[in-house]
């Protein structure tokens, strides 16, 4: 009976000594076994400058963002744009910038006075198209 008791005690002592030695070593246990302590990331050191990053242009980025699974109420780049105004757009003369009462039915250019009107009729068509494009009104009506 004595021999097994001794061996049991030894085992317990062993176990105790194990636990004693384990506690200080606990931080080392957290050191994950699959992590190589000497690992050096490829981006560090001389290779850094050689790394080429792909930059997508804005249209690609926006298109990619649209495809993400957004909820209808999520705020995104596309959803925060201010909505159209409730007030009607003001009309200014394309020639001088003054408030315009009239629109030339032929060229669709807005004008404020008779002098302007006489000038409009002398303008070549590429200039009138240019004036309209300043206020994004040059979309040809089909």
Partner 1 sequence: MATVVLDNGAYTAKVGFCADAEPRLIPNCVIKAKTVRNRVFIGDQVDDCKDLSGLFYLLAFQKGYLVNGEIQKKVWDYIYGKDVLKVDFNETGLVVTEPYFNFTSITEAMTEIFFEEYQFKSIFKCNPSFLSQFQRQQSQSQSQSLCCLVIDSGYSFTHIIPYYKGKKITDGVRRINIGGKVLTNHLKEIISYRQLMVMDETYVVNQMKEDVCYVSTQLWRDMDIVKKKGKENTIVRDYILPDYTHIKRGYIRAPDNENADKNAAQQVIRMNIERFSVPELLFHPSDIGLEEMGIPEAIGHCVSSLPEEMQPHMYGNIVLTGGNCLLPGFKTRLYDDLRALIPDEYDLHVHLPENAQTCAWQGGQQLCKDNTYSSLCVTKQEYDEHGHSICGDKFDI
d(CA 92, CA 99) in angstroms, rounded, equals 4
Compute the Cα dihedral for 31, 35, 38, 44 and give only its sign. negative
* Residue with smaller CB distance to partner 1, 7 or 76: 76
DSSP symbol at 101: -
Instruction: Report the run of H or E that residue 96 belongs to, with start and end.
Output: none
Among 20, 23, 37, 53, binds partner 1 (CB under 8 A): 53
Decide: residue 131, CB within 10 A, 0-12 exposed, 13-18 middle, 19+ buried.
Answer: buried
How many residues bind partner 1, per CB under 8 A?
42
For residue 108, give the nearest of 90, 89, 121 by alpha carbon. 121
Among 4, 105, 136, 141, binds partner 1 (CB under 8 A): 136
Backbone angles phi, psi at 104, to 5 degrees: -75, 120
Only segment of 10-18, 23-31, 79-87, 102-110 that touches partner 1 (CB under 8 A): 79-87
Among 31, 85, 106, 114, binds partner 1 (CB under 8 A): 85
Only segment of 6-14, 15-23, 84-92, 103-111 that touches partner 1 (CB under 8 A): 84-92
Footprint of partner 1 (CB under 8 A): 41, 43-44, 48-49, 51, 53, 55-58, 61-62, 64-65, 73, 75-77, 80-87, 89-90, 92, 95-99, 127, 130-131, 134-137
């Amino acid at each position: 009976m004595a021999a097994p008791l001794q061996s049991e005690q030894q085992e317990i002592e062993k176990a105790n000594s194990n636990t004693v030695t384990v506690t200080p070593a606990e931080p080392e246990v957290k050191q994950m076994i699959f992590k190589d302590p000497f690992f050096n990331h490829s981006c560090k050191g001389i290779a850094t400058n050689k790394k080429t990053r792909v930059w997508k242009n804005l249209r690609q980025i926006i298109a990619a963002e649209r495809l993400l699974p957004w909820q209808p109420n999520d705020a995104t780049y596309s959803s925060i744009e201010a909505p159209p105004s409730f007030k009607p757009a003001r009309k200014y003369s394309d020639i001088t910038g003054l408030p315009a009462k009239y629109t030339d039915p032929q060229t669709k250019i807005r004008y404020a006075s008779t002098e302007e009107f006489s000038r409009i009729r002398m303008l070549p068509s590429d200039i009138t198209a240019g004036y309209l494009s300043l206020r994004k009104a040059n979309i040809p009506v089909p």
